[in-house]
Amino acid sequence: MRDRTIIRRTFLAGAGGATVIALALEPVIRWALRDRDYDLGMLQLTLAYNTGVGFSVGARQPVWLLVAVTAALTVALLIYGWRSAGKVPVITTGGLALMSGGAGANVIDRALDGRVTDYFHTGWWPTFNLADAFLSVGVVLVIIGAVWEERHSAPATRTGLDTGR
């Protein structure tokens, strides 16, 4: 039980840390990009604002509705991460922490002024921010954890232990 408590605390620390890092970077980025863009080759730093959610979906919806829905989904994700911590591979818990932190940062950012600040631009993908990157990396880690768990918890019939008698 003690190990599970440690994993749960680590999950919360990871989610909180991701939220703080993403939110702390935003004012710095807004200041640095207030009057110019930076071309880093495959990645450009350019200031943009998204009044919707992913891919600008819901941009015409009332801010309160977007904040309420995304906050509810974030809380559900946090609860799931907390409850599954110690029962799923550690990589899955880490992915859920990053997803929760990224989602939380975007909820707070949107709640402050009705929009999310974006600044990473590739030219072939919608402009995004660090919180979105945390969400995306978290999803990849959860998928890796699911594959890992599937491969390492094969049913007895796959291992040859089930003789059918």
The confidence score (pLDDT) of residue 58 equals 83
Q: Is 128 helix (H, G, I), strand (E, B) or coil?
A: strand
Which residue ranges make up each domain of the chain? 2-40+50-150
Answer yes or no: 118 catalytic. Answer: yes
Pick the catalytic residue: 3, 35, 37, 132?
132
Answer yes or no: 132 catalytic. Answer: yes
- Amino acid identity of 15? A
Minimal CA–CA distance to 46: which of 32, 33, 35, 55?
33
Q: Is 130 helix (H, G, I), strand (E, B) or coil?
A: helix
The confidence score (pLDDT) of residue 45 equals 96
Does the model's pTM come out above 0.75?
Answer: yes
The confidence score (pLDDT) of residue 7 equals 95
The confidence score (pLDDT) of residue 161 equals 54
Pick the catalytic residue: 3, 37, 39, 118?
118
Q: How far apart are CA 18 and CA 24, in angstroms?
A: 10
Contact 74, 52 (CB under 8 A): no
For the chain (165 residues), the mean pLDDT of every run of 10, in chain order, is 89 98 96 95 95 83 94 98 95 98 97 95 93 97 94 62 52
The confidence score (pLDDT) of residue 56 equals 79
The confidence score (pLDDT) of residue 162 equals 52
The confidence score (pLDDT) of residue 157 equals 47
